[in-house]
Amino acid sequence: MIREKKNPKKNSEVQKIIELSKEKIDDCMQCGKCSAGCPANAGMDILPHQVIRFLQIGDVKKLRESKSIWNCAACFTCESRCPRDVSVSKLMEAVRQTVVRKQGEDRLTPEVVSKLMRDRDMPQQAVVSGFRKYSK
Ligand code: SF4
Ligand code: SF4
């Protein structure tokens, strides 16, 4: 059964991260197993379980400004240790994505993409990946 709890702190920024990651942040019980096993935790100013807590209280700004999102190695150790099946890794990636998208808002439009696709020297994977990063 899918549990859906109401959370007044789920502002639009948190909703966007949930939409991108497909994770259920309310399932996290703050046990800290993800942080304890994270191989990159020494370089993080906000530990993995705290990342979820900030999302639960609706403070995405703190996460966007933290170095933790860039120090996460996307190794999925946190996900494999979580007793509630929550992936901090996917949430970190979603926060990173929102930062990158803000930086390059109008850099890659559908018109530019169609031009790039005609360039034989441009790997298609790079275009698709860039479009995913720089489009909303
Ligand atoms: S291991 Fe899972 S339940 Fe525990 S704090 Fe981390 S995300 Fe939350
Ligand atoms: S995916 Fe990131 S947060 Fe999770 S254990 Fe690996 S480095 Fe730590």
Residue with tokens 């990173």: 96
Angle between helical axes of 124-134 and 88-103 (0-180°, round to 10): 90
Does residue 116 fall inside a structural domain? yes
Q: Residue 15 C-alpha to ligand 2 middle, in angstroms?
A: 22
21 with 65, same domain: the answer is yes
* Dist CA 12 CA 84 (whole Å): 24
Query: Which tokens hold the place of 119?
Result: 């360039």
52 with 97, same domain: the answer is yes
Give the range of the structural domain holding residue 117, as residue numbers without chain letter: 106-136
Q: Residue 126 C-alpha to ligand 1 middle, in angstroms?
A: 34
Mutating to test ligand 2, I would choose from 23, 55, 75, 95 the residue with most ligand atoms within 8 A of its C-beta, which is 75
Q: Residue 4 C-alpha to ligand 2 middle, in angstroms?
A: 26
pLDDT in tens, the chain (136 residues): 555 555 556 799 999 999 999 999 999 999 999 999 999 999 999 999 999 999 999 999 999 999 999 999 999 999 999 999 999 999 999 999 899 877 766 666 777 777 878 888 888 787 777 776 666 6
Does residue 30 fall inside a structural domain? yes
37 with 65, same domain: the answer is yes
Q: What is the position in ligand 1's atom list of the atom closest to the CA of 85?
A: 2
Q: What is the position in ligand 1's atom list of the atom closest to the CA of 49?
A: 5
Query: Which tokens hold the place of 87?
Result: 């992936």
Does residue 4 fall inside a structural domain? no
98 with 119, same domain: the answer is no
Does residue 1 fall inside a structural domain? no
* Dist CA 85 CA 71 (whole Å): 22
Residue 9 is predicted with a pLDDT of: 66
Neighbours of 116 (CB within 10 A): 16
**Residue 53 belongs to a domain with what CATH number?**
1.10.1060.10
Does residue 5 fall inside a structural domain? no
Which residues does a 6 A CB cutoff place in the pocket of ligand 2?
38-40, 48, 72-78, 88-89, 92
* Dist CA 69 CA 94 (whole Å): 9
92 with 31, same domain: the answer is yes
Residue 8 is predicted with a pLDDT of: 56
Does residue 26 fall inside a structural domain? yes
Q: Residue 87 C-alpha to ligand 1 middle, in angstroms?
A: 8
